[in-house]
Amino acid sequence: MPPKKQAVVEKIRLGRPSNNLKMGIVGLPNVGKSSLFNVIAKCDLGKSANFPYATIEPEEARVPVPDDRFTWLVQQYKPKSEVPAFLTCIDIAGLTAGASTGAGLGNAFLSNVRSVDGIFQVVRAFDDAEVIHVEGDVNPIRDMEIISTELRLKDIDWIEKALDNSKKNARSAGNVSLEDKKRKEEVAIIEKILKYVQEDNKDIRKGDWNNNEVEVINNLQLLTAKPVIYLVNLSERDYVRKKNKWLPKIKQWIDENNPGDLLIPFSVALEERLLALGSPEAEAAELATLGDNITGALGKITKAGYDGLDLVRYFTAGPDEVRAWTFRKGLKAPEAAGIIHTDFQKKFVCGEVFGIDDIKEHASETGVKAAGKYKQIGREYKVQDGDICYWKHG
């Protein structure tokens, strides 16, 4: 007999198993967090001001995610309604040195960081005597060290408490049941997690964890398990000329401490000025005066946050509506259908699916069908980014 094929065990992701994920805007006070929130949300919810803790309660906004495919579908179907994909962004108050022990309302602010799924870390790299710096001068490397240290220290605090509880549960357990063994295994896992953060001085998201370890990490809701995108706030002049004395040092720090994390330069001063112009056409005209290939960074930032959370989208398209439906990579057809309505998942029959590239190539759904690209799929089909889906249910 041929050997049995081993079942493929899917890797569990770090983070909440949800399609409704959020990015938190994090950093020291007065680095441009609330100003970024205001321009990215095109509103004035974030309380930007030239003093620390202008923001206390977190503000929330849903930001459209740029997508040329969605724009193409709207032009193709000319629907009565169009609904793009959105990224939820949260403006979180500034953290300071000592936040992990409660300094500067640190406990409340770190709890707000805990409630989001990914981090936009805003780093100040512009000089402006009129905008005070909580540490007295501009030094992005020091600022990144402060944030990194405070997040790790808070994680250590939470892990140590979890370890104490886990050890108590393990002591009260015997060695008979599977539950008893599981409790003892949990102690070993938490000790491994603690060593990684405390002794190895590394962020959880950089570790190679198996599924059992990921389950424990996800239950702990650790800050350093969240994906981080570094947003470096430059003066308009430095952004336009693509030069700043701190950028190479910031890149080096990221490569040494959190290799693979994304760095995006932007200028909140420029973005505020563009927003005040009132229209995309006026913005484009103004950018053209600044030089060749100068663009705003907000679209890139939004898309990076969406991608960083492992979010993708499928589309429904017709004359009434073109809509993007956000989900986490790897979702099967019934669960993807359930995003529209829970009955679609409960009473799922099948789906009819074709790719955005198929309709672009063949110009219409009729052309897609004629080319044999229009397929019927069942429960095990994993919906792909850019699929156009129609669901059938009982």
Low-confidence ranges of the chain (pLDDT < 50): 46, 48-55
Alpha-carbon gap, residue 76 to 359, rounded angstroms: 10
Rounded to 5 degrees, φ, ψ at 195 are -60, -40
Q: Do domains 22-307 and 330-393 have the same CATH topology?
A: no
The domains of the chain are located at 22-307, 330-393
> 132 and 182 in contact (C-beta within 8 Å)?
no
Do the annotations mark residue 235 as ligand-binding? no
Architecture, CATH, for domain 330-393: Roll (3.10)
34 appears as a binding residue in the annotation: yes
244 is in an annotated binding site: no
State the pLDDT at residue 200. Answer: 95
Sign of CA dihedral 23, 28, 31, 37: positive
The pLDDT tens digits of the residues spanning 27-71 come to 998 899 999 999 999 865 545 444 444 445 678 999 999 999 999
Report helix, strand or coil for 144.
helix
Cβ 308 vs Cβ 118: under 8 Å? yes
Q: What is the DSSP letter of 99?
A: G
234 known member of a binding site: yes
Architecture of domain 22-307: 3-Layer(aba) Sandwich (3.40)
Confidence at residue 53, expressed as pLDDT on a 0 to 100 scale: 45
Does 32 appear as a known binding residue? yes
pLDDT at position 334 is 95
What pLDDT is recorded for position 2? 54
**Burial state string for 281-309 with b = 16 or more CB within 10 A and e = fewer than 16:** eebeeebeeeeeeeebbbebbbebbbbbb
Q: Is 35 a known ligand-binding residue?
A: yes
Q: Hunting for tokens 């009260």 — which residue is that?
A: 172
| pLDDT of 176 | 64
Quick one: pLDDT at residue 51? 40
Rounded alpha-carbon distances, angstroms, from residue 81 to 230, 320, 336: 35, 6, 21
Between CA 278 and CA 368 the distance in angstroms is 40
Integer CA distances (angstroms), 44 to 30, 36, 57, 65, 196, in order: 16, 10, 14, 19, 41
Q: Is 112 annotated as a binding residue?
A: no
What does each C-alpha distance from 306 to 8, 97, 114, 197 come to in angstroms? 28, 29, 18, 26
Q: Are 299 and 307 in contact (CB under 8 A)?
A: no
